[in-house]
Chain A
Amino acid sequence: MASNYDNNFSKGTDLAVIVLYLMMACIGILAIFMVEYNPNTNWATSFISGKTSYSKQFFFLIFCSFVGIFILLTDSKVFTALANILFASGLLLMLATFLIGKEINGSKSWIPIAGGFNLQPAELCKVFTALALAKFISKPETDFTKIRSHLIAGVMIALPAILSIGQHELGLALVYSAFIFAMYREGLPPMILVILLSFSILIIATLLLEPTLLAIILSVIAGLLLLYLGKRFKRNKQGILIILIIWMVSISTVRFAVPYIFNDVLECYQTTRIYSMVGKEYDCGLNKKAAASLVESGKKSRKPDDYNVKQSKIAIGSGGFWGRGFLKGTQTRGKYVPEQNTDFIFTSIGEAFGFVGTFTFLGLYLFFLFRLIRIAERQRSTFSRVYAYSVVGIFFFHIAVNISMTIGLFPVVGIPLPLISYGGSSLLTFTALVFILLRLDADRQMVLR
């Protein structure tokens, strides 16, 4: 027991996770190398010159390793102590981007820092939110069976998410829904999960079916339920009321809420992506924002196509079972997949190493996630466990959404593949997430507050 109080980071640190972390990061550099590889230039010299993404990513990794070591050398109490301050400053930074932010790829979410590098506070805010959420739930006065606590936690998560939407980073905003894992583990009623699931099914159905037909189907279901449950609810008017309310909500969602969100809230390209996922086309003429910008620019409306997903699917599909071989992918070499070294990095692996490669790769991820869950479950302190589940949630959400969008299972939202995608902010965030967890895990016998 005594040895766990030592600040020797090799003691109690989960080596498996470190190994997996390094493996992932190296696979990432390799994948970026495949994307950037140019047979006409010597890769060694271009690597040393540091102009290419893979060399930059390599330097990021070295930097992140130092950060990781630094984290491991700190005291785990630091994180409980600083959680709220970090969260607050993270939110402030995000607000600051609205003033001093720099626009990259249409989202004003970057703060330029020295050396031509840019920082994306929304990325880092994930870590801070995880810490703050852990801090809140682990407080002795918090009773997470109460709705009030759920609401407070919900607001904590919603704040950075709303700010992200304000920065046109829909993907990042969605990531915050990953905290539902941690909350669920801590006592969020499963009913909420069921409701969320039903709601998403309803939205997908809205996309697929005619609104009138869907309304009829919903009414029929409601009617049948009333008939069937009528006897049981005879003395219980509340039950009937609930069914009626659900029916009303569903119908209004189908008829008003979804069209409103798609046509008035989301950008034309976002709605198009969502529609293209279910194999449908979206008429941008219906989109208010698109219409407004059209009037401004005076151009004809053009149908944006799902070029990204098509090319990404072609790249992954062309890998076949065994893959086309290292550096032999024509889709990758021909730069057909846009954003291939960031959001679509999975295609480079899929094309080069085929199903065998992607399956192994997913296996690694799965092993990594299950390892993290195991770590989460062995924590004595609620703080560490909540934090661990937050990490699991964030990782899982990134992996699932990113890979799903490259293979056409999810609309394209710009979120990176953890540890693989090119990008310093993203790598730093995931490094911090993992190493803070390792630091906490090393002190798992302690009860942190």
Chain B
Amino acid sequence: MSVYNQNRGGIIQIIIGTVFFLIVGQLVSLQVVSNKYKLAAANNAIFRKIIYPDRGIIYDRKKRALLENAISYDLVVIPNEAKGVDTAALCDILKIDQAEYSKRIVEAIIKNTRVKAGIFEPFLTPEIYAQLTENLYRFPGFSLSERSIRSYPYNTAALVLGYVAEVDVKFLKEHESEGYEMGDYAGMIGLEKNYEPVLMGQRGVKRFLRDNKGKIQGPYEKGEFDTVAVAGKNLYTSVDVQVQQLAEKLLQNKIGSAVAINPKTGGVIAMAASPGYNPNLLTGSKRRKTIGRLLLDTARPLYNRAIKGQYPPGSTFKPLGALIALDEGLITPNYGYNCFGSYGACGDPRKCEHHNAGHAANLQLALAYSCNSYFLQVFRMAIDNPKYSSAKAGYVKWKEYMNAFGFGRKLGVDLPSENKANIPDTSQYNKDFGNPKYWNSCYMLTLGIGQDRMTATPLQLANSMAFIANEGYFYTPHFVDSIESETKEEAAQLAPFRTKQKITKIPKEYFDVIKEGMHDVTVFGTAAVIKVPGHEYCAKTGTAQNPHGKNHSLFVCFAPKDNPQIAVAVIVENAGYGSTWAGPIGGLLMEQYLNDTLTKESQLKADNLAQVDLMPEAIKNWYVRNNKSAYITPIEYNNDELSDVWDMEMLAEGVVKTKTTDTNPPTPLPNTDKTNKDSLLPNADKKKKLNP
């Protein structure tokens, strides 16, 4: 009866064959064609644990650790496993509300998916940590993870050392090939940033087999593919932590900067910028609270004025102006200028502080008394040098010298975002005054006394002192002297710091004259009241006019006079006379470095100086308005943007405004001698000369 159905057996075979064919087809697409399942399996089952090596330590010149590593704990959560959590208790411990809890869970999911551990609360305080360890069993899915953070035993050098922070998307893009991942930490400013690859070390990767619950089953392939973490290397810097601390202390309640360099090596001994901040405020749990405050502060405490602030050098430029004229053969050390209290050769007379005849009878005396007329004359001679065809050519030569001295260019210090400040280009003057044929030395006359458009960073000023101290060369200023077990590449990185920068060929005898003059400054000149016990030193004060308020107080120096070991530049913004504020700070820094201690008297002086509040009113008002304590303080007006604005205003009006300066600033220090005043520009504006 069913014989006629026999062919149906064949049909059934065909049906079965077809279905098998379909299955094989799908298997081909799954196993042979597609690659995504292999990746998915690897993501699933192989847990890559990154082993973070300890970051390198940064030491000062006496091997004292400027920063160290400390252990902190993060509360991490695997969202998928966070079920049945006693959220009320957890929120209570962390002092957050339910909404914040849900928000953070969602954040963790977005950042690290549901199955991977994400940070719920970073940097637990010891109290919260203790509470959590006791109660952790009530919070399934939560765990505590160890993390190494920085700590700063000396609470100092925040801007130099920089900080580490979580990398952002931009950072990841810029360092794509370097293996950073979301959630990693990297140096963001300062040495931490500059030496990031050295300090970071090499991260190790351990691969584990992980089961469906995220539980680790054991090493993958017996650890065959694992790499070992290599600890970051230590940095040995030239910083002297005591000088650094002293510099920061002396600059308290002021806006300004101090830089000290060892001229023999170019190593930076101290670099302070004020207002600064305690570096410990930016580690661990404190960071969250502090960073916003620091970023918003109108005084810009995160701004390293020592390498970014642009200040008119004022009289501190004078020794260099003299050097140029000497080397060009325009003057001899015996050259004198008959100054009677003003310089009138360019029309409108420029005021000089000294009236007594013969105060500029020769270079040495002119330096000691800081005679404006003398150096204006010397500058004019350099620009209108008969050797060169025009004022323009003379100016170009003059600028060449300035660049050789380290001005108007980046020095190449091992900190990120150094500013080159400004030695104006001829094009700038061409723009202002039209065709180069029509301008001469009178047009930028005050460059001769470190004003006009000349600006320099405190680092450049300190470096110029090292240049004079060394009599014709300097080493590129730097912090890091050596790296622990230096490799060839690292040695190459440090090589520029170990080569002499000798660009000028100024003979020694000219330096001797300058040094003598600068020594006279400290004996009977503008800095006669400032002494360094046990040492003869050379210095130059400066009181620089600026468009933003009271004069800046400047002081540059090096010591000892013979065999110099420290070169210093100090700037206190809007403080007044160089000898009143910046001078004593410079003296104390030298004393601390050379004697490794301060005398009782000096200690007292230092304590007094630290108390003095020279914060500009505008900034104080800002603090009052914004309800902030003045611990981290005031405004930054000498920044790039503002000086650009200033330049633009100038161009727009075709005038250079020089603000009326306080001729009699309050002098709280009792030992300030009224005679130790720096030269001042006349109050008259330049309008007449600019538009003849």
* Chain A interfacial positions (CB closer than 8 Å to B): 39-40, 143-144, 181, 184-187, 311, 313-321, 330-331, 333-336, 338, 350-351, 354-355, 358-359, 362, 365-366, 369-370, 373, 376-377, 382, 385, 389, 392, 396, 400, 403-404, 407-409
Q: Is the CB of B209 within 8 A of A313?
A: no
Partner of A317, one of B1, B16, B30: B30
Q: Does A377 lie within 8 Å of B42, measured CB to CB?
A: no
- B20 x A315 contact (CB < 8 A): no
Report the Cα distance A409→B27, complex, angstroms. 10
Please tell me if the beta carbons of A330 and B46 are within 8 angstroms of each other in the complex: yes
Residue in B2, B24, B218 whose CB lies within 8 Å of A385: B2
- Please name 16 pairs of A and B residues whose Cβ atoms are closer than 8 Å in the assembled complex, sorted by A: A39-B218, A144-B1, A184-B8, A311-B44, A317-B31, A320-B38, A321-B31, A330-B44, A334-B45, A334-B211, A359-B27, A365-B20, A370-B13, A396-B19, A400-B23, A404-B23
B31 near A403 with CB under 8 A, answer no
**CB within 8 Å for A373 and B40 given contacts A317-B31, A331-B45:** no
Contact of A187 among B2, B26, B27, B42 (CB under 8 A): B2
Q: How large is the interface on B (under 10, 10 to 19, 20 to 34, 35 or more residues)?
A: 35 or more
Decide: A185 and B41 in contact? CB cutoff 8 A: no
Tell whether B437 is near chain A: CB-to-CB under 8 Å.
no
Contact of B12 with A313 in the complex, beta carbons under 8 Å:
no
Select which of B13, B211, B218 is within 8 A of A336 by beta carbon: B211
Q: Once the chains are docked, how many angstroms separate the CA of A334 from the CA of B215?
A: 9
B51 interface hit (Cβ, 8 Å): no
Q: In the complex, what distance in Å separates the CA atom of A178 from the CA atom of B13?
A: 14
Given contacts A40-B218, A334-B212, A362-B24, contact A407 B16 (CB under 8 A): no
Q: Considering the chains assembled together, what is the distance between the CA atoms of A350 and B9 in angstroms?
A: 31
Of the candidates A187, A320, A333, A358, the one whose C-beta lies within 8 Å of that of B209 is A333
Given A358-B27, A409-B22: A334 touches B44 (CB 8 Å cut-off):
yes
Q: Does B17 contact A (CB under 8 A)?
A: yes
Chain B residue nearest in CB terms to A354 = B31
Contact B218 A407 (CB under 8 A): no
Interface residue? B36 (CB, 8 A): yes
B44 touches A366 (CB 8 A): no
B34 within 8 A of A: yes
**Cross-chain contact A373 with B9 (CB below 8 angstroms):** yes
A316 pairs with B30, CB closer than 8 A: yes
* B5 located at the interface, meaning its Cβ lies under 8 Å from any Cβ of chain A in the complex: yes
CB pair B31 A320 closer than 8 Å: yes
Assess whether A185 is in contact with B8, with CB atoms less than 8 Å apart. Answer: yes
Residue numbers in B under 8 Å from A382 (CB-CB): 1-2
For the complex, give the distance between the alpha carbons of A235 and B31 in Å: 57
| Structural contact, A315 and B41, CB atoms closer than 8 A | yes
- Which of B's residues lie within 8 Å of A, judged by CB? 1-2, 5-6, 8-9, 11-13, 16-17, 19-20, 22-24, 26-28, 30-32, 34, 36-38, 40-42, 44-46, 209-213, 217-218, 220
CB nearest neighbor in B for A357: B31
| Known pairs A369-B16, A396-B16, A409-B26; A186 contacts B40 (CB<8 A) | no
- Chain A residues contacting B2 (CB-CB under 8 Å) are 144, 185-187, 382, 385
Q: In chain A, what residue has the closest Cβ to B47?
A: A334
Assess A408 versus B46: contact at CB under 8 Å? Given A184-B8, A317-B40, A321-B31: no
Residues in chain B near residue A373, CB distance under 8 A: 9, 12-13, 16
Determine how close the nearest CB of chain A comes to the CB of B195; give it in whole angstroms.
39
User: A349: shortest Cβ distance to chain B, in Å?
Assistant: 11
By a CB distance below 8 angstroms, the chain B residues around A144 are 1-2
A376, B10: Cα distance in complex, Å? 12
Nearest CB in chain A: distance from B216 CB, A: 10
Selected from B6, B20, B32, B217, the residue in CB contact (under 8 A) with A333 is B217
Q: How far is the CB of A193 from chain B (nearest CB, A)?
A: 9
Q: Is the CB of A317 within 8 A of B212?
A: no
A185 and B31 in contact (CB under 8 A), knowing A320-B38, A334-B44? no
Among B5, B19, B24, B27, which residue has the most Cβ atoms of chain A within 10 A?
B27
How far apart sit A184 and B9, CA to CA, in the bound complex (Å)?
9
Asked if residues A317 and B41 are in contact (CB atoms below 8 Å), the reply is yes
Given contacts A316-B31, A396-B19, 9 further A-B contacts (CB under 8 A): A317-B38, A317-B41, A330-B44, A336-B45, A351-B41, A358-B31, A362-B27, A366-B17, A370-B16
The distance from the CB of B461 to the nearest CB of chain A, in whole angstroms, is 63
Q: Are A314 and B44 interface neighbours, CB within 8 A?
A: yes
Contact residues in A for B40 (Cβ distance below 8 Å): 314, 317-318
What residues on B are CB-neighbors of A392 within 8 Å? Answer: 12, 16
For B45, the closest partner residue in chain A by CB is A330
* A319 and B46 form a contact (CB under 8 A): no
Residues of A within 8 A of B22 (CB): 404, 409
